Amino acid sequence: MPLRPHTTTDCNRITPATPVAGVSVWLTLPGKPGIIKQSTERGVIPVLFLLYPPCSTCQKAKRWLDDHGIAYEARHIKEENPTRQELEAWYTRSNLPLKRFFNTSGLAYKSLGLKDKLPTMSEAEQLDLLAADGMLVKRPLVIGEDFVLVGFKPAEWEQTLLK
**Stretch 41-57: mean pLDDT, rounded?**
83
Give one DSSP letter per residue of 47-89, joined into a string.
Answer: EEEEE-TT-HHHHHHHHHHHHTT--EEEEETTTTPPPHHHHHH
For position 144, what pLDDT does the model report? 94
Measure CA 67 to chain center: 16
Q: Are residues 65 and 140 in the same domain?
A: yes
In the predicted model, what is the mean pLDDT of the chain? 80
Q: Are residues 26 and 52 in the same domain?
A: no
Residues 85, 75, 147, 16, CA torsion sign: positive
Q: Are 35 and 105 in contact (CB under 8 A)?
A: no
- Please tell me which residue, 145 or 36, carries the higher pLDDT value: 145
Measure CA 88 to chain center: 15
Find the range with the poorest average confidence among 33-42, 79-88, 94-103, 109-118: 33-42
- Please tell me which residue, 11 or 97, carries the higher pLDDT value: 97
Q: Are residues 127 and 72 in the same domain?
A: yes
What's at 155, amino acid-wise? A
Structural domain count, the chain: 2
Q: Are residues 36 and 61 in the same domain?
A: no
Q: Are residues 91 and 18 in the same domain?
A: no
Q: Are residues 85 and 125 in the same domain?
A: yes
Q: Are residues 56 and 14 in the same domain?
A: no
Q: Are residues 86 and 35 in the same domain?
A: no
* Per-residue pLDDT tens over the stretch 8-41: 333 344 334 333 333 333 333 334 333 333 333 4
Q: Are residues 9 and 55 in the same domain?
A: no
For position 46, what pLDDT does the model report? 86
List the domain range (segments joined by +) for residue 81: 46-161
Beta-carbon contacts of 57 under 8 Å, excluding residues fewer than 6 positions away, are 139, 140, 151, 152
Q: Are residues 37 and 57 in the same domain?
A: no
